[in-house]
Structure 1
Amino acid sequence: MAIATVNPATGETLKTFDPLNAGEIEDHLVRAEQAFQEHRTTTFGYRSERLLAAADLLEADLDSISRTMTTEMGKPLAQARAEAKKCVKTMRWYAHHAEELLADEHPDPADVTDSGAARAVVRYRPLGTVLAVMPWNFPLWQVVRFAAPALMAGNTGLLKHASNVPQTALYIEELFRRAGFAEGCFQTLLIGARAVEDILRDPRIAAATLTGSEPAGRSVASIAGDEVKKTVLELGGSDPYVVLPSADLDKAASVAVTARVQNNGQSCIAAKRFIVHTDVYDDFAARFTERMSALTVGDPMDEHTDVGPLASEQGRSDLEELVDDAVHRGATALCGGRRPPEHPAGWFYEPTVLSGIDPAMRIHHEEAFGPVASLYRVADLDEAVTVANDSPFGLSSNAWTRDPDEQARLARDLQAGGVFFNGMTASHPGLPFGGAKRSGYGRELSGHGIKEFCNMTTLWYGPES
């Protein structure tokens, strides 16, 4: 794929970029290693000042970077602003909390005296330069939620961003430089996917993190495993949204729309499979379909637009194939299911609700990356859990019930990295985020996320120390 800004609302190529050559990549690696040797010795106060400066600069740039994101990948402008604001919040959160999260731990001497130690300390030290392979769907947020904790921990970063968001990628590098981080602390690599393996195998790369597709995750994990390097992977999701009879149906249906079409439906943690108890299925389906049908599809720069275009022509084609396969095998499109005729240019697709899904359909097992919802009717809680877990993915999940016993059962049995009761899945800097099964491993955000790229070091002091 060419490294280029292509406006998905029009299909127009706005700007292209040449990929780095081997010599330029080497220069970036040298700078990253040199920067790490200095950055790892800086204080938390020093790093915090610079991360807070980056947050202030981003806040000042809010309008311009939001427009850049919308131009490059098509999310509605209001959602781009919300993404940038979330990045500001997360930078400030780590700037204020990193020192506490990574504070030395002191085991009780009485618990370790039989080791011969007079005392012991557990210390979190940075690993080195971390290679981040990031996707286009949240082009600022996905990077910041890695970069903020990594930099605060004393690591340096190299970013290989998606090829369709190069201007956002370059902005992030410049943002950290403007904030006062040393040259080489955070750099963007404008490279294609084929260049990743050689970089990941370079001994100056200590670890890698990837958010993206399952095939991309398999590739990075395989290479890193061969090199015995730490990885954190956040891959696809096909999150269930379980609705049981005690739910507030009107609120559940309203939130369901946002949970499905946020970011034009292109979110790993978007609810995709709506699993509804038969006693409330017809009522929920009617409310949900009515709201999905009422969404405004159009220019993502228009403040009144609810759903913009998909980020790429291929992405729309892939989504169409899933919908067409489902309908061909007996599913019913309660709304949508086509390209909107009023938008012949760009890569738009109507918000769609499919009913009558069964395991023979591709969409039952594959991730629908766009504004398409699958409705399932289930007889009871047991069947709801079975259908929810009948997926290779396990990123997050949503459950609507006010029954404490049902909540306890779902919390125990749903196979996912998160269970959100009576609300939609969302990430927050203070809560760990990540998945199970083929949705990846490791955690981002919170204290768990900042420790992923630290060397947990045991310091043992003998009686003579």
Structure 2
Amino acid sequence: MTLLTVDNPYTGDVACSVPLADEAAINTVLDRARAAAWVARSASVAERKGWCERMVAAMEAQADAIAKDISRMMGKPLAQARNEVGGMAERARYMVSIAEASLADIALPPKTGFERRIVKEPLGVVLDLPAWNYPLLTAVNVVVPAVLAGNAVVVKHSPRSPLCGEHFARAFSEAGAPANLVQALHCDHPASERMVGDSRVDHVVFTGSVYGGQRLAQAGAGRFRHMGLELGGNDPAYVAPDCDFGKTVENVVDGALYNAGQSCCAVERVYVHRSLYSRFVEACEALVRGYVLGDPMHAQTTLGPIAQPNHPVELELLVEDARAKGARVVAGGKRTQVDGKGRFFEATLITDLDDSMRLMQQESFGPLLPISPVDSDEEALAKMNRSELGLTASVWTQDRERAARFAAQLEYGTVYMNRCDSVDPALPWIGVKNSGRGHSLSALGFDQLTRPKSIHFRLSF
């Protein structure tokens, strides 16, 4: 038996070990999922809602244990991990609340002698491949709406956070859902790619890197089915001259550094109107220097270790590339440890950047806050759109019309005014360009997890 062993990014000890499924075990999981899918599609939406509601309650009852697992596996400060349990429950309950209306048949205008309507049928088996950075949120975006729509789900979680898939499977079992409705599966990347091409899998949703999305798209080529890809971001923010200065500084810094910047929708590039630039940098510096690195289990820790072993070096190389091309590192910029422990990267503020620097062109996925001056709205807009990624963008202004002008021209799935790094389950989560395809959450999210069937009955000749 081959084991997947996950290290604790703070202590270096083993966080958990789980057995990797071989081909026979994978076949068993997929066969069970097909059987469970037939049971799920025969259940009413009300029954499916009950399974999901009781699943959430079961997860909440284990919130402390789940949060500790997250902190051990990927280093998130415990308070933030507990918050993620709450965020998972909020998203799940919202999707439950709109399920009846969202999944109802669409009746067409009456036509004498005919019955015409559009039914939203479940797809069958959904393979969910969530990410480690928000291991509950990236999973619940798929698992709950998929079950509500009448599908079975196989959760093959990230190898950095495998226990989270097991928590979902256990909670659905405790909720009295049909056997094997939601299963956790641990396997290597080649096995995941093979499953994408398996005829027993009807839909795949992957949350992760652009490279990972490309690999899976190639693995599924020729299957003629949709694949949901929720990929990376290089998310810009524009600080306009009329912003609410104090609140903007606080929110932009938090949006860049929360979860050690390990978020697809973290603020990665900040363009500040030159009239505010020096003052904005000074105000940000004070906050950036205030982050406390340490044991993620301790309440005072506000910046945890970096989850992936190779990533601190990659972050340091990004900083050094920027410095070599003329950027100024105001605070941080280095790998470090705390009391000889952990793979940390300092909260980092960098200024005087330009678009030739790698830091401004690619997703850093770390606690870096790059700030660059601009002279006008037009310059900000042009630089914000200068990216192959298109997940979120934010505009910080007290002028709604300015925000609306930006929203109309920004090539991003979500445009914020005066907020960032946030997901509202009532709105679809969408990536454009290399940030992915398809969407999750909201009433539109069910469209990705169902197929339309036309009902065209002639009632009389």
Q: Give TM class, smaller chain.
A: over 0.9
Aligned to 2:413: 417
Aligned to 2:452: 456
AA matched with 1:29? L
CA distance in 1, matches of 2:388, 2:68: 35
TM-superposed CA distance for 1:463, in Å, is: 4.8
Residue 234, structure 1, aligned to residue 230, structure 2: yes
Q: Is the 8 A contact 1:149 1:449 kept in 2?
A: yes
CA-atom RMSD, angstroms?
1.6
Instruction: Give the TM-score normalised by the residue count of structure 1.
Output: 0.96
SS of the aligned residue for 1:226 comes to coil
Note if contact 1:4-1:166 (Cα within 8 Å) is conserved in structure 2: no
The gaps in structure 2 that reach 5 residues or longer are none
For the pair 1:382 / 2:383, whether they are aligned, the reply is no
Alpha-carbon shift at residue 11 of structure 1 (Å): 1.8
- How many matched pairs? 460
Q: 2:405, 2:384 → 1: CA distance?
A: 13
Aligned residue number for residue 50 of structure 1: 51
Select which of 271, 274, 279 maps to 1:275: 271
Cα deviation for residue 191 of structure 1 reads 0.2
Which has the higher mean CA deviation after the structures are superposed, 162-171 or 250-259? 162-171
On the 8 A contact 2:117/2:456 being kept in 1, the answer is yes
Partners of 1:336 and 1:351 within 8 A in 2: yes
Q: Which amino acid aligns with 1:290?
A: A
Name the amino acid aligned to 1:270: A
Q: Provide the rounded CA distance (Å) in 2 between the counterparts of 1:437 and 1:149.
A: 25
AA at the equivalent of 1:167: L
Q: Does 1:145 align with 2:146?
A: no
Q: What SS does structure 1 have at the residue aligned with 2:370?
A: strand
> Which residue among 374, 391, 394 is the counterpart of 1:395?
391
Tell whether 2:162 aligns with 1:166: yes
2:360 aligned with 1:359: no
Q: Distance in 2 between matches of 1:439 and 1:166?
A: 24
Whole-angstrom distance in 1 between the partners of 2:330 and 2:339? 21
> Which structure 2 residues correspond to residues 64-213 of structure 1 after superposition, within 5 A?
64-109=65-110, 118-213=114-209
SS of aligned partner of 1:459: strand
C-alpha distance in structure 2 between counterparts of 1:311 and 1:202, whole Å? 31
Which stretch of the first structure deviates more once superposed, 321-330 or 272-281? 321-330
Consecutive unaligned residues of structure 1, counting only runs of 5 or more, are none
Preserved CA contact (<8 Å) 1:208 1:224? no
| Separation in structure 1 between the aligned mates of residue 399 and residue 233 of structure 2, nearest angstrom | 26
Q: 1:141-171 CA deviation, whole Å, 9 max, x = no partner?
A: 1111110000000011111111121222222
Structure 2 residue matching 1:377: 3-state secondary structure? strand
In the alignment, residue 174 of structure 1 is paired with which amino acid? Answer: R
Offset at 1:371?
0.3
Moved over 3 A (4+): 340-344
1:15 aligns to 2:16 (yes or no): yes
Q: So what's the TM-score if we normalise by structure 2?
A: 0.97
1:216 equivalenced with 2:206 (yes/no): no
Shift of 1:372: 0.5
For residues 163 and 418 of structure 2, the distance between their equivalents in structure 1, rounded to whole angstroms, comes to: 38
Which runs of structure 2 are paired with 1:327-342 in the superposition (5 Å)? 327-340=323-336, 342=338
Matched, 1:62 2:63: yes
Query: Does structure 2 conserve the Cα–Cα contact (< 8 Å) formed by 1:260 and 1:272?
Result: yes
Structure 2 counterpart SS, 1:125: strand
Counterpart-to-counterpart distance in 2, 1:168 and 1:32: 19
**1:184 Cα shift?**
1.5
SS in 1 for 2:222: helix
CA contact under 8 A between 1:3 and 1:164: conserved in structure 2? Answer: no
How far, CA to CA, are the matches of 1:59 and 1:33 in structure 2?
29
Contact 1:241 1:399 in 2 (8 A): yes
Q: Deviations over 1:74-109 (max 9, x none)?
A: 011111111101111222222222111111111223
